[in-house]
Amino acid sequence: MSKNLYVTTAIPYVNGAPHIGHALDYLLADVYARYQKEQGNTVRFQAGTDEHGNKIFDKALAAGIPVEQYVTENSDKFREFITSLGVTPTDFIRTTSADHARRVQMIWEKLAPHIYSADYEGWYCSGCESFITDKEYEENQGICPDHQKPYERLSEKNYYLRIADFKDQIKEAIEKDQLQILPEFRKREVLKLLADSPDVSISRPKKNLSWGIPVPGDDSQVMYVWLDALSNYLTVLGYPEQDISDYWPADVQIVGKDILRFHAIIWPTILLALGLPLPKVILSHGYILANGQKMSKSIGNVVDPLEILGKYGLDPFRYFFLRHIDTFNDSDFTWDKFDAAYSGELANDLGNLVQRLAVLDSKNDVTINYEKVAEDFSEYYQLMDSFEFSKAFDYAWSKIKDLNKDINDAEPWKVAKADSEKAKEILEKLTVRLLNYTELLKPFLTDTSKKIFDIFQNPITIPNPLFPKA
């Protein structure tokens, strides 16, 4: 039976242009969406931009651009970036939109029974837009390891959300995998953080944070960006003004490992306080490193995805970032690795295979009677269903490699000399296998899979090389 599914992606801060690290959320969500649509399901796919907070405001100020213009320009860059990855979300939300702001204020009012006000005296990292406990402060010796900036000391009145009201319920949901945290090894980290988590501040005084959504009923306070941002997953569906039960709870929410804590503690608290069910899965992916290091402007190793896309094109980009960047663990990008994957794997394993078969098929007047799935691909489906996307891609690729070997072993060009009917039969079987494997590649290599199906229509056409020498 066809299902309605909902996949979400983290909404990036618009304090700069997209870099390769931002690609992963979209690509993973896209693979999921395409795979599910293939099975006949309807997929709602949210993306958007996180546009409030001091970090962004200060950047606009430094650039000398009105903040509204600054966030619009950067939000547009992300939107274009998503399109350039061959990704088509059904919804794109901006947290500065009027619909979002109004709905977040309504959410705030619904949360009121779990909100109290108190003085905050402690640390803050504006890079993370996160309040820092004394313990974290000590562990990191006063400097944010992610942003290499000293923590700020705050002394201010805030509103707090009572995490304590829901801790036990969240803990149980995570332990029982009702809220499944993937990968499994992150679950323990999350449970530990949850156990230690104090109530969270969800507002800041306007004098310290002006660029944000006003707290209803208190002119002096503005909402903390994470409350504003997390709510996007609901407001984009129209909540609380519209019925969201067709799509909520989300089937999978995709986030980077650095923001899992917000999604596994504050977010479930908000949902439970609203009386809403928890998402089914939170998939936390690893980090993309550049030459083995975290990308950072100060090191100067930030890789521009548009440069890769411009040089190599879309499917090579999708190939590298979906197969060689592990879905769950940190992985490294270097131009050399990318180039090796392009020439050694895409061009060699797949491009040449297609070329060879197309030439042999047309020489031998092969016609293709293609019926889907002649082999048992249950391993692939199991991997896809458990969100092990890079492993599923590896599996599909191993089939392509097997096929290369089998062509070499079968030597249809030799057979053709002695027995043309026999050669035809062999080639048809090999080609049908290629098409079956291409089905498995569809969610990953979107253009290439279409091209391959086009080539092996009857009559078969001989293409230009799919992956020419770069």
Q: Which residues bind ligand MSP (CB under 6 A)?
A: 10-13, 21-22, 24-25, 50, 229-230, 232, 255-256, 258-259, 287-288, 295
Selected catalytic residue, list 135, 297, 417, 469: 297
Closest approach, Cβ 104 to ligand MSP, in A, equals 12
Q: Based on the residue annotation, tell me whether 171 is a catalytic residue of this protein.
A: no
Instruction: Show Cβ contacts of residue 118 under 8 Å, excluding neighbours closer than 6 positions.
Output: 157, 158, 160
Residue closest to ligand MSP (Cβ):
256
Identity of the residue, 263 or 424, whose beta carbon is nearer to ligand MSP in the bound complex: 263
Identity of the residue, 52 or 399, whose beta carbon is nearer to ligand MSP in the bound complex: 52
Selected catalytic residue, list 294, 311, 337, 363: 294
Q: Based on the residue annotation, tell me whether 128 is a catalytic residue of this protein.
A: yes
Q: Based on the residue annotation, tell me whether 324 is a catalytic residue of this protein.
A: no
Q: Based on the residue annotation, tell me whether 176 is a catalytic residue of this protein.
A: no
Q: Based on the residue annotation, tell me whether 311 is a catalytic residue of this protein.
A: no
Q: Based on the residue annotation, tell me whether 19 is a catalytic residue of this protein.
A: yes
Identity of the residue, 16 or 205, whose beta carbon is nearer to ligand MSP in the bound complex: 16
Identity of the residue, 11 or 270, whose beta carbon is nearer to ligand MSP in the bound complex: 11
Whether cis (ω within 30° of 0) applies to the bond prior to 183 is yes
Separation CA 129–CA 267 (nearest Å) = 15
Selected catalytic residue, list 19, 59, 100, 324: 19
Closest approach, Cβ 378 to ligand MSP, in A, equals 30
Closest approach, Cβ 259 to ligand MSP, in A, equals 5
Closest approach, Cβ 285 to ligand MSP, in A, equals 6
Identity of the residue, 104 or 445, whose beta carbon is nearer to ligand MSP in the bound complex: 104
Selected catalytic residue, list 125, 187, 263, 442: 125
Selected catalytic residue, list 52, 55, 59, 128: 128
Identity of the residue, 74 or 364, whose beta carbon is nearer to ligand MSP in the bound complex: 74
Selected catalytic residue, list 52, 59, 114, 144: 144
Closest approach, Cβ 288 to ligand MSP, in A, equals 4
Closest approach, Cβ 229 to ligand MSP, in A, equals 4
Q: Based on the residue annotation, tell me whether 144 is a catalytic residue of this protein.
A: yes
The residues carrying an active-site annotation are 19, 22, 125, 128, 144, 147, 294, 297
